Amino acid sequence: MKTFVLIHGSWHSAWNWHKVIPLLEKAGHQAIAVDLPGMGRDKTPIGDVKMKNTVQTLCALLDEIPGKVVLVGHSKNGIMISQVAEYRPGKIEKLVYLAAYLIPNGKTQREYSLQDTEGWLKPYVTQHPETSSHTLQPKIYREGLYHDCDEDITALAKLLLSHEPVESGITPLELTEENFGSVPRVYIECTEDRAVTPFIQRKMYTEMPCENVYQLPTSHSPFFSKPRELVDILLHV
């Protein structure tokens, strides 16, 4: 039995994985989906959320789990699983980047996001300086995130998506080859992604080579549109 720890991306929360968890459990594994601080059911004020504390929260979770985990990060929060791997390399069997930001030491997620000029989302991001956060306008949800998903996913998103903290996206990663670099990593590319486009995904996994690269012909949200195909890859990983 493996333990999969599933980390959502920007604006989302643990509900992302509601179709994936039963399939992993049916295959005999444990799956844990996390609400990051300030997201979903976690009531930390969004203005208080810092990358350091989020990483500490995830490290504490790993410390409570017997043995090693497969740590899966989606979208922006590839940065979180990378930084956690720096501090807990011995707790992670493998890192899985799902259409996620895989960036090198000393760089920020924002630096790579700015290079992704063909993405659909940026014109629809609303900044909230008073809370150091931003939100995504609902009118882009379906076409930008869920174009191959059932309509009810967009309806749920309109109820559940929330503010995203800015600070983590502008915080340089602190990674070493001795720690982060010792953990095997794989990449799952979403080839029809309009949020983190194939261009930037390929740039990242080319600059930061992975043990394997898998492709899914999906939007940014394969956990909704093709959960079984995603789980097949996770089981192979």
Distance between CA atoms of residues 153 and 185, nearest Å: 29
Among 12, 134, 147, 220, the one annotated catalytic: 220
Distance between CA atoms of residues 20 and 57, nearest Å: 23
Among 193, 219, 221, 225, the one annotated catalytic: 193
Concerning whether 221 is annotated as a catalytic residue, the answer is no
Concerning whether 42 is annotated as a catalytic residue, the answer is no
Concerning whether 48 is annotated as a catalytic residue, the answer is no
Among 75, 82, 219, 221, the one annotated catalytic: 75
Active site amino acids: 75, 193, 220
